[in-house]
Amino acid sequence: MNRKHPLVSVVIPNYNYGRALELCLRAALAQTYQPLEVLLVDDCSTDDSVAVAEACGVRVISTGVNSGVATSRNTGAAHARGEIVVFVDSDVAMEPDAVANAVALLDSHPRIGAVCGTYDAEPLIRDSLIEEYRCLHQFYWLAETEGRIGTLHTAICAMPARVFAEIGPFNPRLRHTEDGDYAARICRSYEVHSSTAVRGRHDHDDTWRVVLRKVFHRTRLHIPLYVRRGDLPGGIATGPRAGASIAALLALATLPLGLVAASWLLVPAALLALTLLADSALYRFVLRRRGPLFAAYFAFAHTVVNAVIAAGAGVGALQWLASRRFRRLYEPGARPAPVRATR
């Protein structure tokens, strides 16, 4: 980077997150780092998101047609004037020093092409127990993988504009796994680092239906990418965690054996013990932080989520076998053309 304090563009993609948006925008505007511009890219919201942003004095750019978060990020990057682009989800409120710490880490080594932030242990807006489960779970595994990673967490993600231009835009065809695709591309040329010094509070999903739907489809859609890579990228996707998910699904699937004979309940009990053992460090962390009652709820929720992850992987594997189009989801030739700003 040529200057000691390059201009940073904070790009915030948004679709109908008016409830948390003001907290996100005010946190972005309150960053200790300067110079900084904040751009909200609205994906044709039907709530009051645009009014909220305008009331905060933030520049609003519209995608024109609802197109997904990948297109929103690409549009924001095309309009950004900064040497560094920081993508921040519209349900995340950054800590005041998040941008400053991200810039410092990017400046520390030319091989670092992106810096990913982490979540705080407390949710941005407290709504439900399942939200608190998601918050603690993601806080733990993001903090656990601090340092160089093989994936990309785009809730808070800083990269030099030149790197974004070199790697190219997010794939707009992907609605749930654009970050995994981008990680595979950027990691071929640069290091990606995760840092607990770049942190924000996240308004996590607060209903079982949304949580389970997301983990199912995101897992399913990642299967062609994992096959293409030939391995798991680490973080939340590791061999032991995959094993825990499979054991959780089998534990739930074998519960009806108890209807045959009580002794058959030993099968799901053994499988449940395996899935709990695989994440024992996580459960100890939750127990220390929240006590036994919440730890029991957390274990139940995590077992269900693990089972749904395994189910999503199974469906994804079947789709990979049956559908040539599904197998080609992440083929390099399918990359979109660069997005250009229309000023």
- pTM for this model (two decimals): 0.90
Q: According to the model, what pLDDT value does residue 243 have?
A: 85
Q: What is the spatial distance between Cα 240 and Cα 325, in angstroms, rounded to a whole number?
A: 30
- One-letter amino acid at 177 equals T
* Residues pairing with 42 in the sheet: 14, 62
Local structure of 259: helix, strand or coil: helix
Nearest CA to 8 out of 198, 169, 170 is that of 198
Encoded tokens for 34: 């300067």
Residue by residue, DSSP assigns 150-191 as: SS--TTEEEEEHHHHHHH----TT-SS-HHHHHHHHHTTTSE
Q: According to the model, what pLDDT value does residue 2 have?
A: 43
Nearest CA to 170 out of 184, 150, 188 is that of 184
Residue-by-residue pLDDT tens, the chain, 343 positions:
445 789 999 999 999 998 899 999 999 999 999 999 999 999 999 999 999 999 999 999 999 999 999 999 999 999 999 999 999 999 999 999 999 999 999 999 889 999 999 999 999 999 999 999 999 999 998 988 889 998 999 999 999 999 999 999 999 988 889 999 999 899 999 999 999 999 999 999 999 999 999 999 999 999 998 888 776 665 555 667 788 899 999 999 998 988 788 888 899 899 999 999 999 999 999 999 999 999 999 999 999 999 999 999 999 999 999 999 999 988 865 444 344 443 3
Q: According to the model, what pLDDT value does residue 331 have?
A: 80
Q: How many helices (H) and strands (E) does the chain have?
A: 12, 9
Q: According to the model, what pLDDT value does residue 336 have?
A: 42
Say if residues 313 and 220 touch (Cβ distance below 8 Å): yes
Q: What is the spatial distance between Cα 289 and Cα 69, in angstroms, rounded to a whole number?
A: 34
Q: According to the model, what pLDDT value does residue 270 have?
A: 94
Q: According to the model, what pLDDT value does residue 3 have?
A: 57
- One-letter amino acid at 80 equals A
Backbone angles phi, psi at 195, to 5 degrees: -140, 130
What are the CA-CA distances from residue 307 to residues 215, 235, 277, 320 (Å)? Answer: 10, 18, 15, 20
Q: According to the model, what pLDDT value does residue 183 have?
A: 93
Q: What is the spatial distance between Cα 223 and Cα 319, in angstroms, rounded to a whole number?
A: 9
Nearest CA to 251 out of 241, 232, 264, 238 is that of 264
Encoded tokens for 322: 């049956």
Say if residues 170 and 178 touch (Cβ distance below 8 Å): yes
Encoded tokens for 103: 């810039």
Q: According to the model, what pLDDT value does residue 333 have?
A: 52
Q: What is the spatial distance between Cα 324 and Cα 313, in angstroms, rounded to a whole number?
A: 17
Q: What is the spatial distance between Cα 139 and Cα 198, in angstroms, rounded to a whole number?
A: 12
State how beta strands 147-149 and 191-202 pair: antiparallel
Q: Which residue has the tokens 């020093």?
A: 97
Say if residues 257 and 268 touch (Cβ distance below 8 Å): yes
Burial class (CB in 10 A: 0-12, 13-18, 19+), 49: buried
